[in-house]
Structure 1
Amino acid sequence: MDKAKPLLNVENLGISFGGLRAVQGVDLQLFSKEMVGLIGPNGAGKTTFFNMLTGVYEPTEGTIMLGNRKLNGLSPYKITQGGISRTFQNIRLFGELSVIDNVKVAYHSQAKHSLLSSIIRLPQHFNGEREMEEKALAFLEIFQLQRFKDEKAKNLPYGQQRRLEIARALAASPKLLLLDEPAAGMNPQETKELMNLIALIRETFELTVLLIEHDMPLVMGVCERIYVLDHGQLIAQGTPTEIKNNPKVIEAYLGEEVS
């Protein structure tokens, strides 16, 4: 995609709940293969913003464009098919399914064989299932999860569950990956490994990543640009160095260090 043309273009985005304006007037652009952070204090509207991008909430004002396609009003399923995948603050895996089946679930929206071929067990069904199995195994290898492929997802250690959730999101072949606090609940070693993993993801899959995260060293270490929300409004944007030294950002974090 032309660097001059945004992959994602958000203009004047806002949403109200019962008269309360949770997010208002947000403009944001993401370009191809960028790694961008979205930060802000608790309650700033970051996850609400993600929910609008993915169709969980419909904005009450503004527009969301992915390439030339307007996303306003589309269902989450259609938005995923269109090229946006996400992870969640609280891990949402299919706990009773195996690790490999959690990844295979993401491929079903792209399956080349029809429902009819699956029902009557035509060769296309078995070919499609074999292809999904091979792709899922390849993803598990990238994320160093292949040894757990037959384990129930709920039995994985916490850090490995996070890896699996990201692997599943990537299996949907997104153009844009939204990561909602992927380091939440991780110890320092797991966070360091996650930072390396996020860098590997962009290099391997050549996609755009928008990251919500409270771990400032992680954000500053992997993101090229950062947007800052406070009380639902965009208060700053810029490079990590610019954000670190921005008085409005420092005030929003009540004097806490942003590095």
Structure 2
Amino acid sequence: MATNTPLLKVNQVGIRFGGLKAVAGLNMELYKGDLVGLIGPNGAGKTTFFNLLTGVYVPTKGSISLNGERLNNVPPYKINRKGISRTFQNIRLFRELSVLDNVKVAYHSLAKHGFISSILRLPSHFSGEKEMEEKAMECLKVFNLDLYKDEKAKNLPYGQQRRLEIARALAANPKLLLLDEPAAGMNPLETQELMNLISLIREKFGLTVLLIEHDMPLVMGVCERIYVLDHGQLIAQGTPEDIRNNPKVIEAYLGEEVSSC
């Protein structure tokens, strides 16, 4: 599914916190339709890297580009509008809002009607709200969450909360979807369903997906390429087979677990 021009280009990106190099000289290219994994031991810099991609942190060196447009120093809300959405290690839903409203929140960032039309209750406000609700319901159906549209997010089982967070990220109409440990806390059945879901939404919406995950069967089963970080540095990249047999990766991270993947 890849094209010759990278959707995301990361060139020698690094960031320091005091004297600590959290990420050092990282290069990465993602192409439209890629499904790529980012793995490494705890503290390797994976979530820090996601924070760099989404503008939470500004790189101390290097550059990040989306569709050829430099993202350094661009604030997170603008990066989201340009086409990067993410989920988080710890689920961040609006717990007291309904399932439907959690997804509609993402559509509001793309709303065509403005603040004035909402205050004055103009026809454009109502037509815009109706359109957002219809789109939100379509999104919920993809994740089999439409039957729970009126339920408070906090009342959903854990696995469904994970799915709702992905649905909300998808509702922002991203080009690149970042998933930070989406299988964390899931049982084996939920993890298998998640693998199928990630592949489905990549195909259905033409997305590029980059995921951080510690569940090796999931990573090896769903990702086409994998990058491996250790102490903020890229130590390997390649196909799941390449990574499975890479001595540096086995020593730094996979260990004996690699034989079961």
**Per the alignment, in what secondary structure is the counterpart of residue 22 of structure 1?**
strand
The corresponding residue for 1:136 is 136
Q: CA RMSD in A?
A: 1.0
* Pairs within 5 Å for 1:1-259: 3-253=3-253, 255-258=255-258, 259=261
Change beyond 3 A, Cα 1:40–1:99: same
| CA displacement at 1:254 relative to structure 2 | 6.2
**Per the alignment, in what secondary structure is the counterpart of residue 49 of structure 2?**
helix
Name the % identity: 75
**Per the alignment, in what secondary structure is the counterpart of residue 94 of structure 1?**
coil
Q: Which runs of 5+ in 2 are unaligned?
A: none
Aligned-partner Cα distance in 2 for 1:197–1:14: 32
Aligned-partner Cα distance in 2 for 1:11–1:97: 40
| CA displacement at 1:60 relative to structure 2 | 0.4
What's the CA shift string for 1:61-80, capped at 9, x where partnerless? Answer: 11000012110101110000
Change beyond 3 A, Cα 1:139–1:11: same
**Per the alignment, in what secondary structure is the counterpart of residue 255 of structure 1?**
helix
8 A Cα contact 2:2 2:34, kept in partner? no
Q: Which runs of 5+ in 1 are unaligned?
A: none
Aligned-partner Cα distance in 2 for 1:20–1:37: 25
| TM score, norm. by length of structure 1 | 0.98
Aligned-partner Cα distance in 2 for 1:257–1:187: 18
Deviant stretches of 4+, over 3 Å: none
What letter matches 1:28 in structure 2?
M
Aligned-partner Cα distance in 1 for 2:54–2:47: 11
| CA displacement at 1:256 relative to structure 2 | 3.2
What's the CA shift string for 1:89-144, capped at 9, x where partnerless? Answer: 00000000000000000011110111100000000000000000000000111100
